[in-house]
Structures are given as C-alpha cells and as structure tokens.
Chains A and B, each alone.
Chain A
C-alpha cells in the first residue's frame, strides 16, 4: 500500500501529541517515532517575533514532494509535516516533522532529510521583528543549510 504524507501549511499552531497519536494510531509495525519541532528563538534577546511569508501552492507542493521522497527512500510507515506562516512570536512553533518507521535510523533520517530540503528548497521567507521596535531585516540564507543537503546526494 502506498503511504502518503500528511502535509499542512497553515496559520494556526499544531499540537505535537495530537499529530503523533494520529500518525501512529493505525501502526502496529512501527518501532520508532521521531519528531522535530522548529521554534522561533530570540537571537540572544534581539527578536520579538518572526514573520513568515510563503508562496501558496508551491510551498505545499515542495514539502509534499520531499515528504513523499523520504517515505520511499527510508521506507517510512508514516510522515507528517506542518509548516506555519504569518507572525510567530518568540517561543512559538514554526515547523513540525514526525516520522514513523520500523527502526530508529530510518525515522531519524526521514525527519532530517525532509528538514534539510525544506529549509533550502521550500518557498518560505523569514522577516525579523526586533524587540526595540526597529525594522528588522529579512533573514539571510545560510551556507550551512546548503551544505547540509550534500549528505543526501548518494
């Protein structure tokens, strides 16, 4: 049976336990559940919030593509990917990945793989809102994120 990921791009927050329960409810053969939550940090006291913009349609399509590819590559039994947009305050959730597999390595790798591709290839952009009220800048892409992709090219 073909396994399809659950992918959501939305304004509202998500609930980790709910997403895990939903994904594992019908899984008798799963021995590993790995989750990753990306949270808005304050950059050592500078930031109040991040504003996330996305390219509607393409954002969902790209995450779905990487999620489906992870399911096939790591033989995952289930995968959920949720990415929020809009204004996200320090401490609030930005992104969630849950990967379910028979064994832990596949689950770790599956979540990691989707995150690496999502960071560099899914059309989302972050703008800073500074604590002192001044206008923040758009967040720059990081070379480390681009080089993270190389480990999957084999």
Chain B
C-alpha cells in the first residue's frame, strides 16, 4: 500500500471535506474520488462511511478500493 504524510489545512474538518480537497489535487484524484461508493475509507483503521465524520482526532486516514480477500 502507498502512503503520504500531509499536514491538513484546519478547514478540513470532516471526511467529506478531505474528499473535496483530494478531488482538487488533480485530474486523477478527481476521477477516483467521484466514485464515492467505490472508494472505501478507514480512519485510524476503522471503516467510516459517514461524510460528516469528524477528523479532528484522526491520525491515519486510508482510502482504498473494494476489498477482495478470502
């Protein structure tokens, strides 16, 4: 899995804000994040699907495709 360390602007308060920010980062980001129901989100290793989820205490945020284990 790939990763990057970002200092988020204080304006980014929720998962929805972060996705809006991600979409603004370039064409590829915009393409991926327009599929809101496909991109899975985990905050500190717990699944999150509420766009209003508060990120103020979050340390690690993961975006990933649908899982295909087993």
In the bound complex, residues from chain B placing their C-beta under 8 Å from that of A55 are 1, 42, 45, 62, 64
CB interface residues, B 14-53, toward A, < 8 Å? 42, 45, 47
Q: Judge whether B66 is part of the interface by a CB distance below 8 angstroms.
A: yes
Q: Is the CB of A121 within 8 A of B68?
A: no
Complex Cα gap A137–B7 (Å) = 33
As a 0/1 sequence over residues 75 to 98 of chain A, the CB contacts with chain B under 8 angstroms (1 = contact) are: 000000001000000000011000
Q: Are A122 and B42 in contact, CB atoms less than 8 angstroms apart?
A: no
| B residues in contact with A53, CB < 8 Å | 1
Q: How far is the CB of B50 from chain A (nearest CB, A)?
A: 16
Number of B residues with CB within 8 Å of any CB on chain A = 12
Tell me if A149 counts as interface (CB < 8 A to partner B): no
In the bound complex, what is the Cα–Cα distance between A122 and B68 (angstroms)?
A: 8
The answer to whether B45 and A138 have CB atoms under 8 Å apart is no
Interface residues of A (CB under 8 A from B): 38, 52-55, 57-59, 61, 83, 94-95, 115, 118-126, 138-141
| Interfacial residues, chain B to chain A (CB-CB below 8 A) | 1, 42, 45, 47, 62, 64-70
18 contacts between A and B (CB under 8 A): A52-B69, A53-B1, A55-B45, A55-B62, A58-B45, A61-B45, A83-B70, A118-B69, A119-B67, A120-B66, A122-B69, A124-B67, A124-B68, A124-B69, A124-B70, A125-B67, A138-B65, A140-B66
